[in-house]
Structure 1
Amino acid sequence: MPPRTPPTVLHLIPYDGIGGVEVAARSLAAGPHGTDSGALTFAKLFLSCKGGAAHGPHVWTGPQASEWAPGNYLGAVSEIRRRKPDLVIVSLWRSCIAALLAKALRPRLRLVAFLHLAESVHLPDRLLNRLVMELAVEIWADSDSTLRARLPARLRRKGRVISFLTERMERATRPPARPHFIFWGRLHPQKGLSRALQIFAAVAARHTEAQFTLIGPDMGIQAALQEQARTLGVDDRVTFAGPLDRAEIFRQAGTHCFYLQPSVTEGMAMSVVEAMQLGLIPVVTPVGEIPRYARDDDSALFLPPDEPPATSAARIADLLADPARSEAMARTARAVWQDRALYRDDVLRACRALLDRANGATPPPRAR
């Protein structure tokens, strides 16, 4: 009897970018995983070649950089039909288009809806993800708060939280407590960076050595933020470093003490997780999953939504004036993640459970 061909799991993503979705996906290598009954092949399909992902035996990228090029979607559907995956994981709303087309052509195709934000970004996002959720065998999310916010009660039995811890990090070399702030991620209104500048300006009024470094791609607001920094009189203390690779981000983190991100909405907030592992103190709004893994005045400094910048700055100043408290908070932040499961292991575990269930090996999940 010929050896059994391992099942194939395919992760469908719009393109290979630098956001939390793409960084997490990158931490799980395409190719064979496991042996014997646990063996599977993990493949990745990027709708667009934007971002530079390279073709490989288990990686396919669309021929055009445009996220709207019809050829990318038709090519993705063709690739899904050719590979005949046992499971397709669908991340972000553009991927839903290709997944729904493929499902229409192959009704037995098994889909997993993967949610990464606690709120829909617009109507197409909400509608397309809802369609995929209805058809999916399981619905994954980056956090319990995302599941609670996005899933109607009748679909919660399909829900599963996937860890978004992508790697174990060594603590950055932490300098003495000083007002050096850093942010990394998309320069997007969701991240609350206008408020971050207001808070930083209030801190800078107290501390002449204050610095703020913002790292990440411009999503249309950088010019406005730079003008705001000039208006606040702190443009000489604020650095817009642009996109950097992860090694350089983490190197720069070693010269900072605080991670400043007063987001309006979040899911897991991957950059906050990374900052905590590196021993930075998160100064963040308690949105999304953040209050489930961080505690105010213990492993983070929470910013109430309506707190004036001067009040936030005064609380930061109190922390700076107490180096022992600052160091204890940084240690606690790091300890939160020391024993958590990695994204890679959690995804593979969830895939195997679904494949086993499809073969009748395990019962369906209980309702949440």
Structure 2
Amino acid sequence: MKRIVHLIPYHEIGGVEIAARSLPTGCHGELEFERNYLVKAPTSTVEAGEYHGPEVSLNNPRAFWGALLRLYRDPPNLLVASLWRSALVLICLKILRPRTRTVIFLHLAHDVHLVDKLANRAAMSLSDAIWADSSVTLDRRVPRGLHGKGRVVSFLLNQRSLPEQCDPVPEFIFWGRLNAQKGLDRALGLFATLVRQRRDARFTIIGPDGGMEDQLRARVAELGLRDHVVFKGRMRHADIADAASRASFYLQTSRDEGMAMSVVEAMQNGLVPVVTPVGEISNYCDDKDSAIFVHEDDAAVEAVLALLADPDQYRRMSCAAAKYWQEKPLYRDDFLDAARELIGSRGDEA
């Protein structure tokens, strides 16, 4: 039995954490998978096959030393580290136990800050492999000389049957962290332009505050959108899917992205994404075929209005968005296949 540990800073609702929990802990044929978190978030639940560190700040040294000591005493056959704080633990473990196989897993197409850049670059050099959530992340983040270690891991979390085709309504939705990266300030401006022509338009914004919620609420007031925009805060995944079933468009004008899992989920639900073509979005969305690309806001608004006036064309685009993800490999399967190749272990999954 070969043991794999996926190390993550803490359990949140972001793409990294949701993907990690889509792979069940426990035995998968000859592999045993577990999740480790540096700290225990106050609202997180502990599942079987998980270890959560102390309930302290992510910047508390206890979180790092505790994880390192645990992994040093009981080293896995493969350590997979996501995000820069976990990369610091990987670096230390690789120095103390150089024979331990390690993977640094990249989830964004750009460095967030200097420490993020330095920690991930060091981890890339020391690791046996580099995994990325998309080809864009791999190309942009990994130095050319290390590309031979690189591999893209699918971030499709589940397979879904094709959704029922419906006529379009001016209902828009977004889910994710409310941070600057997602560009929701621009999305609100675009939506305000549309509201001037469709007073029945509504925009539902779901997700925890990532530092921008107060500014976004102020922007809603400034644009006169209080009767058209609702902030729902955190929601369970099943509740997000229920809210998405009542919408026709997914609106996200990100400044930068890696894989953008919420866009993938929206497409699987049959929503037409209205998105900036950044990161991997430009590779799996097709402008005017399965999505509306936001280059100029006014042009994007006109494209949305045209779809609202042409239900047949909307249904064609909705169907194309959902069909794209049929038959694509799942995250859980791709993760385990990549692990098997790296540690030289083969066999059928249980």
Measured against the shorter chain, the TM-score band is: over 0.9
Shift of 1:104: 2.3
Match of 1:345 in 2: 333
The one of 113, 119, 134 aligned to 2:125: 134
Retained in 2: the 8 A contact 1:196–1:262? yes
> What CA distance in whole angstroms lies between the structure 1 residues aligned with 2:320 and 2:4?
37
Match of 1:261 in 2: 252
Q: SS of the residue aligned with 2:344?
A: helix
Structure 2 letter corresponding to 1:221: M
Retained in 2: the 8 A contact 1:62–1:75? yes
CA distance 1:170–1:245, change in 2 (3 Å): farther
Shift of 1:170: 4.1
> What CA distance in whole angstroms lies between the structure 1 residues aligned with 2:166 and 2:195?
18
Match of 2:18 in 1: 23
Q: SS of the residue aligned with 2:289?
A: coil
| Unaligned ranges ≥5, structure 2 | none
> What CA distance in whole angstroms lies between the structure 2 residues aligned with 1:54 and 1:102?
24
> Aligned residues: percent identity?
47
Match of 1:12 in 2: 7
Match of 2:289 in 1: 298
Where in structure 2 are the equivalents of 1:54-203 lying within 5 Å? 54=46, 56=48, 58-171=49-162, 175-203=166-194
Match of 1:354 in 2: 342
Match of 1:334 in 2: 322
CA distance 1:178–1:275, change in 2 (3 Å): same
The one of 208, 213, 224 aligned to 1:233: 224
Shift of 1:211: 0.1
1:52 counterpart = 2:44: yes
Shift of 1:106: 1.4
TM-score (norm 1): 0.91
Match of 1:41 in 2: 32
Shift of 1:102: 1.8
Match of 1:362 in 2: none
> What CA distance in whole angstroms lies between the structure 1 residues aligned with 2:76 and 2:260?
30
Shift of 1:233: 0.9
Match of 1:282 in 2: 273
Shift of 1:179: 1.1
Retained in 2: the 8 A contact 1:24–1:166? yes
Q: SS of the residue aligned with 2:131?
A: strand
CA distance 1:172–1:217, change in 2 (3 Å): farther
Between stretches 70-79 and 128-137, larger displacement belongs to 70-79
Structure 2 letter corresponding to 1:349: D
Q: Which runs of 4+ in 1 moved over 6 A?
A: none
Matched residues, number: 346
CA distance 1:178–1:185, change in 2 (3 Å): same
Match of 1:325 in 2: 313
1:316 counterpart = 2:304: yes
Retained in 1: the 8 A contact 2:40–2:52? yes
CA distance 1:217–1:172, change in 2 (3 Å): farther
Structure 2 letter corresponding to 1:314: E
Shift of 1:311: 2.8
TM-score (norm 2): 0.96
Structure 1 letter corresponding to 2:35: K
Retained in 2: the 8 A contact 1:48–1:64? yes
CA distance 1:173–1:247, change in 2 (3 Å): farther
1:134-179 superposed Cα distances (whole Å, 9 cap, x missing partner): 0111100000111100111110011100000011234555652111
Match of 1:364 in 2: none
> What CA distance in whole angstroms lies between the structure 1 residues aligned with 2:176 and 2:206?
6
> What CA distance in whole angstroms lies between the structure 1 residues aligned with 2:194 and 2:128?
50
